[in-house]
Structure 1
């Protein structure tokens, strides 16, 4: 009961502070792979306490030593807890809202021989890590790409359409906001169209062995997510085209969109004599 009370007090008190301060923090939009590569340490840890010291909030973290993905040299295994600092100052993007007894993936940088984290780092509840992200962390996939590829795209939530630049467009890409053929990143647009952020959830950026260019390395989940997101985008832009299949129509976000999508597929089949399996084709919506 006492632990639950402490957790509730910490969550409430720190939550109020973040509401007031965090709106002044501006972090560039970055993919988890970028955050991993920009960090000095990445590990999984449980919050076991916190105290104030010289204007910082200092967390006591119990590290899961089998889940230290980067910065092993900074983790003292002889210590029961390690100390990680974060600023109270919203302008410095402090992260004073971690919850007592909650387990997190923690990334950050070394500053004057101590660990620091901020809103700009990859700090998230461990339960929110996707199976693909876990695989890329454990197998060193993110780590192996740090020196070979750059991920580009929107800089902030105020620049939704950056990827419509002709230089990021590919002939098999319909919306201009996403691309399989270069590591462009637009999670803001993904959220706007009520879809998953496919690149964050399922993909990583790596050099193609044939072309040498950097591309999103995909799996079945990424391919499906990408196609559904493109189809949803096209349904909001009637004069555009979409890679649309019956299965995609059934997985769209509203009854109206499903009906409109299915109608377009049927009209396409009638006008072209296409069979029941359309596959991935450009279909006017």
Structure 2
């Protein structure tokens, strides 16, 4: 399998619904374009995962079936969120309640999540998270150049014909219809001066961003 095929597979795996263990209720999520994930999240950042700890195991009279996992991280770059440093993210230990499993061998991820009132960051399978080196160059650039400018636009998901939009401030997302990942990996939906929205393909530099 080529690196490009692996990248496309990872993107589709992140966007599609997740199937869970036999005998449990599946965690289902509405497909979300990376830009939607950026706009709808409290925090978006690049981080290295350096450790994990299981929390809330329960006691002798009660065993928590879905304890929490604390992933220790080293912040690399904040794209959206507080100015302070984030040193951990929290998630459920099982995929049944949409818990996320991250590699703890120093792998770098792009992570989107929810910022709680106590300052902790929580992530689920319905958030967008992906290994940094599998992101396209366009996605990396759009994190700092384009996604934020299109947060007033609406990206409308389409999986079957006919595909319809309800107004000019919408971009039609057809990757699932075409079996492609092009719009997710290469495009941002941005607002024009007249208030309408359209897909924009970012210019890619000659050298990859690292």
Matching residue within 152, 155, 158 for 1:151: 155
Q: Secondary structure at the match of 1:92?
A: coil
Answer yes or no: is the 8 Å Cα contact 1:57–1:96 preserved in 2: no
Aligned counterparts of 1:69 and 1:220: Cα–Cα separation in 2: 20
Answer yes or no: is the 8 Å Cα contact 1:56–1:86 preserved in 2: yes
Aligned counterparts of 1:219 and 1:42: Cα–Cα separation in 2: 20
Aligned to 2:114: 109
Answer yes or no: is the 8 Å Cα contact 1:168–1:184 preserved in 2: yes
List aligned pairs for 1:239-250, cutoff 5 A: none
- Across the aligned residues of Structure 1 and Structure 2, the Cα RMSD in angstroms comes to 2.6
2:197 counterpart of 1:214:
yes
Answer yes or no: is the 8 Å Cα contact 1:25–1:92 preserved in 2: yes
Matching residue within 155, 161, 164 for 2:162: 164
Aligned counterparts of 1:23 and 1:131: Cα–Cα separation in 2: 36
Structure 2: any 5+ residue segments left out of the alignment?
A: 1-18, 57-66, 205-210
Aligned counterparts of 1:74 and 1:38: Cα–Cα separation in 2: 20
Aligned counterparts of 2:88 and 2:193: Cα–Cα separation in 1: 42
TM-score, normalising length: structure 1: 0.54
Task: Give structure 1 regions of 4+ aligned residues with deviation exceeding 4 angstroms.
Answer: none
1:127 Cα deviation (Å)? 0.3
TM-score, normalising length: structure 2: 0.72
1:85/1:185 Cα in 2 relative to 1: closer, same or farther (>3 Å)? same
1:145 Cα deviation (Å)? 2.1
Deviations 1:51-78 (A, max 9, x none): 10111011000111xx2101133525xx
Matching residue within 62, 65, 87 for 2:74: 62
Report which stretch shifted further, 122-131 or 107-116: 107-116
Aligned counterparts of 2:203 and 2:90: Cα–Cα separation in 1: 39
Decide which structure has the larger Cα Rg and report it: 1
2:77 counterpart of 1:86:
no
Aligned counterparts of 1:200 and 1:135: Cα–Cα separation in 2: 13
Answer yes or no: is the 8 Å Cα contact 2:188–2:200 preserved in 1: yes
Higher strand share: 2
Answer yes or no: is the 8 Å Cα contact 1:44–1:126 preserved in 2: yes
Aligned to 1:100: 105
With a CA cutoff of 8 Å and minimum separation of 6, indicate the structure with the bigger relative contact order. 2
Answer yes or no: is the 8 Å Cα contact 1:182–1:216 preserved in 2: no
Aligned counterparts of 1:43 and 1:23: Cα–Cα separation in 2: 30
Structure 1: any 5+ residue segments left out of the alignment?
A: 1-17, 77-81, 155-159, 170-180, 222-285
Q: Secondary structure at the match of 1:133?
A: helix
Higher helix share: 1
Aligned to 1:119: 125
1:123 Cα deviation (Å)? 0.5
